């Protein structure tokens, strides 16, 4: 009789019983898929995700739903990166002018980021990012994540009129595709996103940019009769 391995569904149930957080659950499930998945493609994807986690070398802070809701507005992430620019000033009015928001919103955002240990003050003159990176379960439905995605997409729309083509790049391509290849395509996008980030973060930090690739279906599902 052939041995039966652990399925992805069983791995998820075990994760719940062990009270693993989303990041730990994902890591555990990928190891299960690598060891027991029947599909070579599924094993390949699991192996890639595991290697990506190891290669990142970062200390990840997994935020629970309520904590992520607190920083689900775009300007929290903009402040985190703005703090890395050369001319940064720990002045709510200056930050507000750079981001086009109010000084009150800046002060509130900085307080939230401090409480979540994502930034810390350096002698009261600057704020700096800690060595924590945020990880969230993008594969699961979340109102907070959808809100953040909408805000960044809206910022992209606004840039069409407020920025020159030398300052931005917004392009698209329409494709007839095989949906079965989407999982691997998403991993390709993730890999490119990180490579682009590493390239652009070299040199002098003067501005804050957002790279928000989108891949979505424009055809409607047809119900078979």
pLDDT at position 2: 46
Question: How many angstroms separate the Cα of 36 from the Cα of each of 139, 182, 219?
Answer: 21, 22, 35
Helices 40-56 and 182-200: angle between axes, nearest 10 degrees: 20
pLDDT at position 168: 97
Q: What is the dihedral of CA 212, 64, 133, 78, to 10 degrees?
A: 50
pLDDT at position 1: 43
Residues near 54 by Cβ (< 8 Å), separated by ≥ 6? none
For 165-177, how does the pLDDT look when each residue is reduced to its tens digit (9 = 90+)?
Answer: 999 999 999 999 9
Q: Which ranges of the chain have pLDDT less than 50? A: 1-3, 137-139
pLDDT at position 136: 53
Q: Are 62 and 20 in contact, with CB atoms under 8 Å apart?
A: no
pLDDT at position 108: 96
Q: Are 15 and 25 in contact, with CB atoms under 8 Å apart?
A: yes
């Amino acid at each position: 009789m052939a041995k039966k391995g652990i399925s992805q569904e069983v791995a998820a149930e075990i994760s719940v019983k062990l009270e693993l957080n989303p990041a730990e659950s994902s890591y555990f499930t990928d190891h299960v898929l690598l060891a027991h998945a029947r599909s070579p493609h599924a094993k390949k994807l699991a192996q890639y995700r595991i290697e990506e986690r190891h290669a990142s070398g970062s200390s990840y802070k997994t935020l629970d739903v309520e904590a992520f809701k607190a920083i689900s507005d775009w300007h929290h992430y903009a402040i985190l990166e703005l703090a890395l620019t050369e001319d940064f000033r720990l002045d709510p009015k200056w930050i507000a002018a750079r981001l086009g928001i109010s000084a009150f919103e800046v002060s509130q955002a900085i307080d939230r980021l401090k409480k979540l240990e994502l930034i810390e003050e350096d002698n009261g003159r600057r704020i700096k990012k800690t060595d924590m990176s945020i990880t969230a379960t993008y594969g699961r439905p979340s109102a907070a994540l959808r809100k953040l995605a909408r805000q960044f997409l809206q910022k992209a729309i606004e840039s069409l009129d407020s920025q020159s083509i030398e300052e931005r790049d917004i392009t698209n391509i329409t494709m007839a595709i095989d949906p079965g290849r989407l999982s691997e395509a998403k991993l390709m996008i993730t890999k490119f996103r990180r490579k682009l980030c590493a390239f652009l973060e070299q040199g002098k930090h003067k501005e804050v940019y957002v790279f928000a690739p989108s891949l979505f279906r424009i055809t409607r599902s047809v119900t078979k009769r």
